[in-house]
Amino acid sequence: MHAIRRGTHVSTPRFVRRSISLATVAALAALVATGAHAQAGKLSSANVDKPDFSGIWDRDTPPVTPSARTAGGSPSAVTGPAFAGAAPPLKQEFVAAYQAELKRLADADQRGEPVTSQNTMCLPQGMPAMMLAIFPMEVIQTRGQVTIIEEAFTQVRRIYIGEEPPPVEDAEPGFYGHSGGKWDGNTLVVDTVGIKTNILYRNVPHSEEMRIHERMRVIDADHWEDQITITDPKYLTGSWSWTWKYKRRPDYKMLEYVCEDNREFADPVTGAQRMRFKDTKAK
């Protein structure tokens, strides 16, 4: 700061220096503040008098019959069908590879040598899987933005109200993409692009042209639903849709989740999930 002032002193004519008075600085500051306020004001109108999704939510799913004797001996597999929704309408040329991949994973489970998932590597689920809300999910609705935080892996997505997502060719790929939202009556309509092509939901392949279209609707004070529709002109013959519902989890404070030290790891040769027995922390 001092260097800048000194440089200005040397090179600026006296009459200019005099004109930069305290009043001018104050006026400039006011202009900047007004501009920022105007921008915030424009965005702020977007969520006014609209349903509020704010709160902590759990997934709300029809009950399934618990059984420890399901696919791969995995008790958690019982939660599968309830969340599976319709089958993806893959183009014919991709069906065989997709089925083969599912079989490879199922066979590995049957052998007791499960193939590692991205979560084993401490990578988050990304979109749309984070909306499964495998752990509690917080929604913070501010005037121009809806922010969704999933406790698992501290996944965060930001939906900018009143904005369109960028064109696909300009959308930098990420785990959560770029989301723009607008209100259709009392339904929040969200479009998302820019999901990394290696971030898969249900192992369904997708291209950089995948779009996630969501219609978020408050059902009552303690429930809301997200109707999700995936389109991808490269991989899908049509739209792939399902609905996830959420119920309020009262009196809950979100917990920290830093994926810190997974003693499960991917075998460097087979890719199978293994266990590290050595306790490195204590050494």
- Write down the least CB distance from residue 110 to another protein, Å: 8
Contact 153, 124 (CB under 8 A): yes
Residue 94 binds to another protein (criterion: CB under 8 A): no
| Only segment of 40-48, 96-104, 178-186, 240-248 that touches another protein (CB under 8 A) | 96-104
Among 7, 35, 41, 81, binds another protein (CB under 8 A): 81
Residue number, 227 or 262, with CB nearest to another protein: 262
Contact 152, 257 (CB under 8 A): yes
Binding mask 118-147 for another protein (x = CB under 8 A): -xx-x--x---x--x-xxx-----------
Contacts of 159 (CB under 8 A, 6+ apart): 145, 146, 147, 148, 179, 180, 181, 188, 190
40 phi and psi, to 5 degrees?
-60, -40
Residue 8 binds to another protein (criterion: CB under 8 A): no
Task: Find the helix or strand (DSSP H, E) in which 16 lies.
Answer: helix 14-19
Q: How far apart are CA 5 and CA 1, in angstroms?
A: 6
180: which strand partners?
Answer: 160, 191
* Strand runs labelled E in 162-210: 178-184, 187-193
Coil, strand or helix: which one is 141? strand
264: which strand partners?
Answer: 275
Residue 102 binds to another protein (criterion: CB under 8 A): yes
Q: Which residues of 148-169 are buried (b: 16+ CB within 10 A; e: fewer)?
A: bbbbbbebebebbbbbebeeee
Residue 68 binds to another protein (criterion: CB under 8 A): yes
Residue 76 binds to another protein (criterion: CB under 8 A): yes
Residue number, 42 or 91, with CB nearest to another protein: 91
Residue number, 40 or 122, with CB nearest to another protein: 122
**Which residue has 């979100």 as its token pair?**
254
| Only segment of 15-23, 65-73, 156-164, 175-183 that touches another protein (CB under 8 A) | 65-73
Residue 202 binds to another protein (criterion: CB under 8 A): yes
Interface residues with another protein (CB under 8 A)?
68-81, 83-84, 87, 99, 102-103, 105-106, 108-115, 117, 119-120, 122, 125, 129, 132, 134-136, 151-152, 201-203, 255, 257-264, 273, 275, 277, 279, 281-282
